[in-house]
Structure 1
Amino acid sequence: MAPSPQRSGSAGGFLVAVCLVIGTIIGLVVGQPSIGFLVGLGVGALAALVLWLKDRG
Protein backbone atom coordinates (compact mmCIF):
# COMPACT_ATOMS: atom_id res chain seq x y z
CA MET A 1 0.00 0.00 0.00
CA ALA A 2 1.38 3.42 -0.94
CA PRO A 3 1.90 5.95 1.85
CA SER A 4 -0.59 8.79 1.92
CA PRO A 5 0.79 12.08 0.59
CA GLN A 6 1.81 14.51 3.30
CA ARG A 7 0.21 17.91 3.33
CA SER A 8 2.70 20.74 3.34
CA GLY A 9 2.49 23.16 6.25
CA SER A 10 1.50 26.79 6.04
CA ALA A 11 4.13 29.50 5.91
CA GLY A 12 4.14 31.12 9.34
CA GLY A 13 7.43 32.87 8.63
CA PHE A 14 5.67 35.10 6.14
CA LEU A 15 3.39 36.36 8.91
CA VAL A 16 6.37 37.11 11.13
CA ALA A 17 8.14 39.03 8.35
CA VAL A 18 5.07 41.06 7.40
CA CYS A 19 4.30 41.92 11.02
CA LEU A 20 7.92 42.98 11.58
CA VAL A 21 7.82 45.36 8.62
CA ILE A 22 4.40 46.77 9.50
CA GLY A 23 5.36 47.16 13.16
CA THR A 24 8.57 48.97 12.26
CA ILE A 25 6.76 51.33 9.88
CA ILE A 26 4.12 52.13 12.50
CA GLY A 27 6.90 52.60 15.04
CA LEU A 28 8.68 55.04 12.72
CA VAL A 29 5.49 57.06 12.34
CA VAL A 30 5.03 57.20 16.11
CA GLY A 31 8.72 57.87 16.74
CA GLN A 32 9.52 54.53 18.39
CA PRO A 33 10.87 52.15 15.72
CA SER A 34 12.40 49.74 18.26
CA ILE A 35 9.11 49.33 20.11
CA GLY A 36 7.30 48.88 16.79
CA PHE A 37 9.80 46.21 15.78
CA LEU A 38 9.32 44.33 19.05
CA VAL A 39 5.54 44.59 18.92
CA GLY A 40 5.59 43.39 15.31
CA LEU A 41 7.79 40.48 16.31
CA GLY A 42 5.44 39.53 19.13
CA VAL A 43 2.31 39.78 16.99
CA GLY A 44 3.94 37.86 14.14
CA ALA A 45 5.21 35.12 16.43
CA LEU A 46 1.77 34.80 18.03
CA ALA A 47 0.10 34.60 14.60
CA ALA A 48 2.61 31.98 13.43
CA LEU A 49 2.03 29.97 16.60
CA VAL A 50 -1.74 30.08 16.16
CA LEU A 51 -1.35 29.04 12.51
CA TRP A 52 0.95 26.18 13.51
CA LEU A 53 -1.46 24.96 16.20
CA LYS A 54 -4.38 25.12 13.78
CA ASP A 55 -2.44 23.28 11.09
CA ARG A 56 -1.28 20.64 13.56
CA GLY A 57 -4.72 19.73 14.82
Structure 2
Amino acid sequence: MADRPAPRAGGFILAVAILVGTIGGGLMGQPSIGLLVGLAVGVAVSVALWLRDRSRAGR
Protein backbone atom coordinates (compact mmCIF):
# COMPACT_ATOMS: atom_id res chain seq x y z
CA MET A 1 0.00 0.00 0.00
CA ALA A 2 2.97 2.34 0.34
CA ASP A 3 3.26 2.75 -3.44
CA ARG A 4 -0.23 4.28 -3.77
CA PRO A 5 -0.59 8.06 -3.77
CA ALA A 6 -2.42 9.49 -0.75
CA PRO A 7 -6.09 10.24 -1.43
CA ARG A 8 -7.36 13.80 -1.23
CA ALA A 9 -10.10 14.64 1.25
CA GLY A 10 -13.21 16.25 -0.21
CA GLY A 11 -14.97 16.77 3.12
CA PHE A 12 -13.25 20.08 3.79
CA ILE A 13 -14.28 21.41 0.40
CA LEU A 14 -17.84 20.26 0.99
CA ALA A 15 -18.03 21.99 4.39
CA VAL A 16 -16.53 25.24 3.08
CA ALA A 17 -18.87 25.29 0.08
CA ILE A 18 -21.91 24.85 2.35
CA LEU A 19 -20.76 27.66 4.65
CA VAL A 20 -19.93 30.02 1.80
CA GLY A 21 -23.24 29.27 0.11
CA THR A 22 -25.20 29.89 3.29
CA ILE A 23 -23.40 33.16 4.03
CA GLY A 24 -23.73 34.32 0.43
CA GLY A 25 -27.39 33.38 0.36
CA GLY A 26 -27.94 35.13 3.69
CA LEU A 27 -26.46 38.33 2.32
CA MET A 28 -28.90 38.09 -0.57
CA GLY A 29 -31.85 37.31 1.70
CA GLN A 30 -32.08 33.63 0.72
CA PRO A 31 -29.96 31.53 3.12
CA SER A 32 -31.79 28.27 2.34
CA ILE A 33 -31.16 28.59 -1.38
CA GLY A 34 -27.55 29.51 -0.66
CA LEU A 35 -27.15 26.39 1.48
CA LEU A 36 -28.54 24.21 -1.29
CA VAL A 37 -26.34 25.82 -3.93
CA GLY A 38 -23.30 25.45 -1.67
CA LEU A 39 -24.20 21.81 -1.05
CA ALA A 40 -24.56 21.13 -4.77
CA VAL A 41 -21.25 22.80 -5.61
CA GLY A 42 -19.48 21.03 -2.74
CA VAL A 43 -20.81 17.62 -3.75
CA ALA A 44 -19.84 18.20 -7.38
CA VAL A 45 -16.28 19.20 -6.47
CA SER A 46 -15.94 16.34 -3.97
CA VAL A 47 -17.12 13.79 -6.53
CA ALA A 48 -14.71 15.25 -9.11
CA LEU A 49 -11.83 14.90 -6.62
CA TRP A 50 -12.89 11.34 -5.82
CA LEU A 51 -13.01 10.39 -9.50
CA ARG A 52 -9.62 11.99 -10.11
CA ASP A 53 -8.09 10.11 -7.16
CA ARG A 54 -9.62 6.90 -8.40
CA SER A 55 -8.13 7.32 -11.85
CA ARG A 56 -4.78 8.34 -10.36
CA ALA A 57 -4.68 5.17 -8.27
CA GLY A 58 -5.19 3.11 -11.44
CA ARG A 59 -8.51 1.50 -10.54
Aligned position for 2:29: 31
- Aligned Cα root-mean-square deviation (Å): 1.0
> Matched residues, percent identical?
50
- The number of aligned residues is 54
Aligned position for 2:6: 8
- CA deviation vs aligned residue, 1:14-50 (integer Å, no higher than 9, x gap): 1100000000000000000000000000000000000
Q: Which runs of 5+ in 1 are unaligned?
A: none
Moved >6 Å (runs of 4+): none
Q: Helix, strand or coil for the counterpart of 2:16?
A: helix
Q: Distance in 1 between matches of 2:18 and 2:45?
A: 12
Greater radius of gyration (CA):
1
Matched letter for residue 16 of structure 1: L
Q: Which runs of 5+ in 2 are unaligned?
A: none
TM-score (norm 1): 0.88
